[in-house]
Amino acid sequence: MSEVIQLLPDHIANQIAAGEVIQRPASAVKEMLENAIDAGATHIHLIIKDAGKELIQVNDDGKGMSPIDARMCFERHATSKIRTIDDLFEIRTMGFRGEALASIAAVAQVELKTKPKDSEVGTRIVVENSEVQIQEPCSMNQGTHLSVKNLFFNIPARRNFLKSTTTETRHILDEFIRVAMAFPEIAFKFTNNSADIFHLESGKLKLRILSLLGQNLNNKLVPVQEEAGFIQIQGFVASPDAASRTRGNQFFFVNNRFIKSAYLNHAVTQSYQNLIAKDEFPLFVLFLAIDPKRVDINVHPTKQEIKFDEEKMIYAIVHAAVKRALSQYSIAPSLDFSLDANIEHLPSITQPFSKQKQEHTKSDYLFQSFTEKGQAHFLDKKPKIANWQELYQVQQQLNPELTAPETKPEPVFEESFQEEFLQINKAYIIATTKSGCLFINQHLAHERILYERFQRTRLQPLTIQKCLLPVMLEFNAVDTVMLESMLDDLLNLGFEIEKFGQQSFTIQGIPADVKPGKEKETIEQLMESYKHFSSEVKLEKREKLIRLMASQQAIPEGKKLSKAEMQELFQQLLLCEQPSLAPNGKKIMARITSKDIELLIQQS
């Protein structure tokens, strides 16, 4: 009987390991930046080309490596941090997996140039497919230059799995910002396709936050400082008016390592209760210093998800620290019920409100508008104009160029409708027919209508309604890259947005159906949805965008519709190419015949 179990060759084992450590270009960026930090660098320069697929290069002025260390760092399980099993639970440095460079070298063409302080010359090593091709002396200053070219060149399936250039660049930006935020004492530079995105000088944390997230936060950052036994918390939270509809500007670091924790995020968000809207997210950059023995950082391969020994206690401490910081800096809202001295002696204050004045007030139109149920929104009521057709004919005689309102073609459908509509639960419309009725989801119906309208923008862009004044938008670097890639498609959909500075934009025009004053909110919501858009099939960027636009602008559930609005929605739906299905494939309507109704009655 022949043996079937064999040891894998090293280069294949390395490629398998690479799949766990190097999932995309951003994974390599993270490992390379962390190694530069552990080397004691004071200046780090990240250079990428083609979203890291062509080149990822990190230059640092750290302590460098000897020729032997330079060769050993590409071996699997090679590390300078662990000597005994106890060291594993005392790690305070960043890169310690011991497989990062070996994994990168297994799936890319790598060049390493390094020189320690006390050496006259450096060492240059070229590795491809886990094989050392060249090792030779080189001339350079102290530090390390690591270049990773043609990532996944030998694994085409993995390379094809990568997302668009915009998406991969955004992931790289995420990693860069997290590392740069955690080490403000180190100077960082980031160059993307020969353009400098960031040039960060070393300094205090607040300066680093402003450099990465925007100078508009200068007067909105509230310091947080708390020490409670085994944990120390420091950093900044932003005032409520800096909250946004995107989650991008939320950073938690444990022992200087970025982590993701919905549990701790909730602790911070609860501190802003009644200060921000439910669909807004506070900005914060918080650092937790804690004994490594109380933290399990090996919950996830990327080390971004960790487990605390005493989660509930840490939750309470974080919540209290943020709440105390907000209250100390008078962020919490307060009401002053005292009267100004200048108005205390006015007749309206000093004179009694007699019965005669009360009766006179009750008869006032403004008083009635506020006291009668449902009238507060109709202060500006206008009388209905009867016989508007006759008035229009008179106007047309006076102005022959005036054309009649556009008439829509009669909807073609297999059943005749009786023009009777009913709304139930402010979510569904019932349209009666001779043989029964249709139940229609109002949100999905309007989503289908808008989707097909946006689809037609390839042939004819939507009309743009110019803003009276440009609306300013300020984003972090990640969202800036994403919005830049969307500008052309947004223009076809009626949004005229222009770049204004490094991380700023101006909205010059909006679609006609976006309410003035909602421009910024609409774009922020659209971007947040775009980032978290999920689909079982791959969709092009424009398709994702129009689906999100249609969903965002569609009539929501819970909105009461008049009979005229229901009729208009129904007629527009029947004119669609696909009136029965929403863009995501969900059914829009269900038909119930008279026989179905009778059967239900008999079964009840």
Q: In CATH, what number is assigned to the domain containing residue 192?
A: 3.30.565.10
Residue range 584-589: average pLDDT? 91
Are 427 and 557 contacting, i.e. CB atoms less than 8 angstroms apart?
yes
**CATH code of 223's domain:** 3.30.230.10
Residue range 542-549: average pLDDT? 89
What domain range includes position 278? 205-328
The CA-based diameter of the chain, rounded to the nearest angstrom, is 111
What domain count does the chain have? 3
Which parts of 23-164 fold into alpha helices (H)? 25-38, 67-72, 100-107, 156-161
Q: Return the half-sphere exposure (C-beta side, CA atoms, 13 A cut-off) of residue 202.
A: 8
| Contacts (Cβ under 8 Å, ≥6 apart) of 574 | 411, 412, 413
* Residue 125 forms part of a structural domain: yes
CB count, 10 Å around CB of 188?
26
Mean pLDDT of the chain: 80
Model confidence band, residue 245 (pLDDT cutoffs 50, 70, 90):
confident
Residue 334: per-residue pLDDT: 40
Highest mean pLDDT among 230-239, 286-295, 377-386, 395-404: 230-239
For residues 268 and 303, membership in a common domain is answered with yes
Model confidence band, residue 329 (pLDDT cutoffs 50, 70, 90):
confident
Distance, CA of 199 to CA of 195 (rounded, Å):
11
Across-strand partners of 352? Answer: none
Residue 542: per-residue pLDDT: 85
Residue 253: per-residue pLDDT: 95
| Amino acid at site 111 | E
Distance, CA of 577 to CA of 412 (rounded, Å):
11
For residues 433 and 570, membership in a common domain is answered with yes
Distance, CA of 244 to CA of 284 (rounded, Å):
12
For residues 183 and 249, membership in a common domain is answered with no
Q: How many angstroms separate the first and last alpha carbons of the chain?
A: 69
Residue 258: per-residue pLDDT: 94
pLDDT above 60 (res 536):
no
91 conformational bin, left if phi > 0, alpha if psi -120 to 50, beta if neither = beta
* Residue 369 forms part of a structural domain: no
Residue 353: per-residue pLDDT: 57
Distance, CA of 317 to CA of 232 (rounded, Å):
9
For residues 536 and 521, membership in a common domain is answered with yes
For residues 499 and 585, membership in a common domain is answered with yes
For residues 195 and 215, membership in a common domain is answered with no
Are 200 and 180 contacting, i.e. CB atoms less than 8 angstroms apart?
yes
User: Nearest 5°: phi and psi at 268?
Assistant: -70, -45
* Residue 261 forms part of a structural domain: yes
| Contacts (Cβ under 8 Å, ≥6 apart) of 376 | 369, 370
Distance, CA of 115 to CA of 141 (rounded, Å):
7
Helix (H, G, I), strand (E, B) or coil at 533: coil
Q: What is the pLDDT of residues 369-386, one digit of tens each?
A: 444 544 444 444 444 444
Residue range 61-77: average pLDDT? 88
Residue range 156-164: average pLDDT? 85
Model confidence band, residue 406 (pLDDT cutoffs 50, 70, 90):
very low
| Contacts (Cβ under 8 Å, ≥6 apart) of 431 | 417, 420, 421, 437, 438, 440, 566, 570
pTM of the predicted protein model: 0.67
Are 464 and 509 contacting, i.e. CB atoms less than 8 angstroms apart?
yes
Residue 156: per-residue pLDDT: 87
Are 273 and 280 contacting, i.e. CB atoms less than 8 angstroms apart?
no
pLDDT higher at 121 or 87: 121
Model confidence band, residue 46 (pLDDT cutoffs 50, 70, 90):
very high
For residues 191 and 285, membership in a common domain is answered with no
For residues 324 and 217, membership in a common domain is answered with yes
Residue 363: per-residue pLDDT: 56
* Residue 251 forms part of a structural domain: yes
| Amino acid at site 411 | P
The residue among 297, 290, 298, 294 whose CA lies nearest residue 309 is: 294
pLDDT above 60 (res 391):
no
Question: Strand pairing of 496-499 and 436-441?
Answer: unpaired
pLDDT above 50 (res 73):
yes
Q: Which of 281, 302, 328 is the last residue of a domain?
A: 328
Helix (H, G, I), strand (E, B) or coil at 499: strand
Residue 531: per-residue pLDDT: 76
pLDDT above 90 (res 360):
no
Residue range 289-306: average pLDDT? 69
Helix (H, G, I), strand (E, B) or coil at 364: coil
* Residue 568 forms part of a structural domain: yes
* Residue 377 forms part of a structural domain: no
Residue 381: per-residue pLDDT: 42
For residues 196 and 278, membership in a common domain is answered with no
| Amino acid at site 261 | S
**Alpha-carbon torsion 333, 337, 338, 343, what sign?**
positive
Which residue shows structure tokens 């923008």? 457
Residue 166: per-residue pLDDT: 84
Model confidence band, residue 349 (pLDDT cutoffs 50, 70, 90):
very low
Distance, CA of 235 to CA of 367 (rounded, Å):
50
pLDDT higher at 203 or 79: 203
Q: What is the pLDDT of residues 170-225, one digit of tens each?
A: 899 999 999 999 999 999 999 999 888 899 999 999 999 999 988 888 889 999 99
For residues 311 and 441, membership in a common domain is answered with no
* Residue 364 forms part of a structural domain: no
Q: Is 339 buried (19+), middle (13-18) or exposed (0-12) by CB count in 10 A? A: exposed
| Amino acid at site 392 | Y
For residues 227 and 167, membership in a common domain is answered with no
Model confidence band, residue 43 (pLDDT cutoffs 50, 70, 90):
very high
For residues 461 and 523, membership in a common domain is answered with yes
pLDDT above 90 (res 448):
yes
432 conformational bin, left if phi > 0, alpha if psi -120 to 50, beta if neither = beta
Residue range 101-125: average pLDDT? 93
Q: What is the pLDDT of residues 451-479, one digit of tens each?
A: 999 998 877 888 888 988 889 988 877 78
Q: Which two tokens stand for residue 262?
A: 């919905």
The residue among 72, 160, 69, 80 whose CA lies nearest residue 122 is: 69
The residue among 315, 314, 298 whose CA lies nearest residue 306 is: 298
Which parts of 122-240 fold into alpha helices (H)? 156-161, 165-182, 205-213
The residue among 498, 499, 488 whose CA lies nearest residue 461 is: 488
Which residue shows structure tokens 């040039």? 199
User: Nearest 5°: phi and psi at 93?
Assistant: -90, 180
Distance, CA of 61 to CA of 143 (rounded, Å):
4
